[in-house]
């Protein structure tokens, strides 16, 4: 089976590359992926793969049935959205939509899932079970397309026994993959704080409630709260990315706004930390006679790769890629909405290397120069198909 999959990934490569160029040239922002979804639906239709469109807006779910389709179901997921970035690459397939770019490789993910679907469909008399294809909108934007797809029922009828997703990784060379069992990526929650004081003349602070001085206390104090209240064995990051308030050297403003993000890898500590952040901020502000308004909208949960599934997946990857080409990943404090699926179904989110010999294609994701060595498309397509085939026959 390995050789059949590799041979087909090679055979379909020109078409796979053309699909990636098309999607890359026509990027669409989160929850606006109409053209992308229509294009993907067109390809699935062309290959005779049954699918439903319009799920959670632009999402698509396809089913490929092998022999004995009720025996087991494996889901494969791709995201379709692009970012509000002006592409800086001068390539023939560069973005034709001003200010919008596939800078996180979601064009690659959609392409790899289409390629894998085509191969699995060709070989459907040779495997048992059902493959569920999930093309989701809005990975980059709150509340995350994955959460809406789950609410729309994509993990039911049939319920997958396992789910796989992949992501491009410019820190590894093309021809390699990376795995991490257990906690892999962080939860990501936004923090919005408004400190309401009372403005006045900078020379008469005793007649004001200075929200800027209080904001400084809040920022430094919260770092201590996170480092003293959080278990040091659980990674946590609190970053304020924006502070806004004031007008001039000699004016104390009425209010200050702080915008930040809190990330961690433990769901219990995550919600405890929210409470600490809220209580500490409110009480510190109260101590100085100010009022705090704290809003922490819940974002993506942490991404947990099922240890049993991921250990098996690494072994399958070594068979497909060669042992030297399967790497162990470090944990990452970035967020990823694939995490929503991993809290319902045993999941494995892995990486495919996309640079060339650690020399070219090194620009990070979310950068205007991000691009991939397209040979990595063959790896992504083949690996998704190979993971599905193995996970369908895998016993518990
Ligand atoms: Ni991404």
Domains defined for the chain, CATH in brackets: 2-185+301-394 (3.40.630.10), 189-295 (3.30.70.360)
pTM for the whole thing? 0.93
> Active site includes 139?
yes
> How far is ligand 1, taken at its centre, from the CA of residue 376, in Å?
16
pLDDT of residue 393: 81
End-to-end CA distance of the chain: 21
Residues with Cβ–ion distance below 5 A, ligand 1: 104
Decide: 285 and 218 in contact? Cβ < 8 Å. Answer: yes
Pairwise CA distance, residues 72 & 168, whole Å = 28
> How far is ligand 1, taken at its centre, from the CA of residue 256, in Å?
32
From the candidates 28, 33, 79, 81, which is the catalytic residue? Answer: 81
| Predicted confidence pLDDT, tens digits, the chain (396 residues) | 999 999 999 999 999 999 999 999 999 999 999 999 999 999 999 999 999 999 999 999 999 999 999 999 999 999 999 999 999 999 999 999 999 999 999 999 999 999 999 999 999 999 999 999 999 999 999 999 999 999 999 999 999 999 999 999 999 999 999 999 999 999 999 999 999 999 999 999 999 999 999 999 999 999 999 999 999 999 999 999 999 999 999 999 999 999 999 999 999 999 999 999 999 999 999 999 999 999 999 999 999 999 999 999 999 999 999 999 999 999 999 999 999 999 999 999 999 999 999 999 999 999 999 999 999 999 999 999 999 999 998 654
Name the nearest CA neighbour of 66 among 132, 9, 115: 132
From the candidates 79, 87, 107, 139, which is the catalytic residue? Answer: 139
Pairwise CA distance, residues 88 & 99, whole Å = 10
Task: Name residues whose C-beta falls within 8 Å of residue 175's C-beta, 6 or more positions apart in sequence.
Answer: 321, 325, 353, 375, 376, 379
Angle made by CA atoms 357, 379, 395, in degrees to the nearest 5: 130
Is 300 buried (19+), middle (13-18) or exposed (0-12) by CB count in 10 A?
Answer: buried
pLDDT of residue 246: 96
> How far is ligand 1, taken at its centre, from the CA of residue 320, in Å?
24
> How far is ligand 1, taken at its centre, from the CA of residue 169, in Å?
10
pLDDT of residue 394: 64
> Active site includes 314?
no
Name the nearest CA neighbour of 22 among 104, 110, 98: 110
Name the nearest CA neighbour of 135 among 55, 234, 200, 16: 55
> How far is ligand 1, taken at its centre, from the CA of residue 104, in Å?
5
> How far is ligand 1, taken at its centre, from the CA of residue 167, in Å?
7
> How far is ligand 1, taken at its centre, from the CA of residue 80, in Å?
9
> How far is ligand 1, taken at its centre, from the CA of residue 105, in Å?
6
> How far is ligand 1, taken at its centre, from the CA of residue 336, in Å?
7
The bridge status of strand 187-196 relative to strand 303-305 is unpaired
- N residues, the chain: 396
Query: Can you count the helices (H) and strands (E) in the chain?
Result: 10, 16
Report CA-CA distances (Å) from 345 to 73, 76, 156, 178. 11, 12, 11, 21
Name the nearest CA neighbour of 52 among 167, 175, 153, 142: 153
């Amino acid at each position: 089976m390995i050789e059949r999959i590799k041979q087909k990934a090679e055979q379909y490569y020109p078409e796979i590359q053309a699909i990636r160029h098309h999607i890359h040239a026509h990027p669409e922002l989160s929850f606006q992926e109409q053209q992308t979804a229509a294009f993907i639906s067109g390809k699935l239709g062309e290959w005779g793969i049954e699918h439903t469109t319009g799920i959670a807006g632009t999402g698509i779910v396809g089913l490929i049935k092998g022999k004995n389709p009720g025996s087991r179901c494996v889901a494969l997921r791709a995201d379709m959205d692009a970012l509000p970035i002006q592409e800086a690459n001068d390539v023939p397939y560069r973005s034709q939509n001003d200010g919008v770019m596939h800078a996180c490789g979601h064009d690659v993910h959609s392409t790899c899932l289409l390629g894998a679907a085509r191969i699995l469909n060709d070989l459907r008399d040779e495997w048992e079970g059902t493959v569920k294809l999930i093309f989701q909108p809005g990975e980059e934007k709150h509340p995350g397309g994955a959460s809406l797809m789950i609410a729309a029922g994509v993990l039911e009828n049939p319920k997958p026994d396992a789910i796989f997703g992949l992501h491009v990784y410019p820190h590894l060379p093309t021809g390699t993959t990376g795995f991490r069992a257990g906690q892999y990526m962080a939860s990501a929650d936004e923090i919005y704080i408004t400190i309401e004081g009372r403005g006045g003349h900078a020379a008469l602070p005793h007649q004001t409630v200075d929200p800027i001085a209080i904001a400084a206390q809040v920022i430094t104090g919260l770092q201590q709260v996170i480092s003293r209240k959080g278990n040091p064995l659980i990674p946590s990051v609190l970053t304020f990315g924006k502070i806004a308030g004031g007008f001039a050297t000699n004016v104390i403003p009425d209010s200050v706004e702080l915008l930040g993000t809190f990330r961690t890898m433990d769901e219990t500590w995550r919600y405890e930390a929210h409470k600490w952040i809220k209580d500490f901020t409110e009480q510190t502000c109260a101590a100085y006679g100010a009022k705090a308004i704290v809003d922490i909208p819940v974002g993506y949960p942490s991404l947990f790769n099922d240890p049993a599934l991921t250990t098996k997946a690494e072994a399958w990857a070594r068979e497909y890629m060669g042992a030297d080409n399967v790497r162990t990943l470090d944990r990452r404090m970035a967020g990823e909405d694939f995490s929503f699926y991993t809290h319902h179904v045993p999941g494995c989110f892995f990486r495919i290397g996309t640079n060339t010999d650690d020399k070219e294609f090194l620009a990070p994701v979310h950068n205007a120069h991000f691009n991939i060595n397209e040979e990595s498309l063959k790896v992504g397509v083949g690996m998704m198909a190979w993971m599905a085939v193995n996970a369908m026959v895998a016993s518990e």
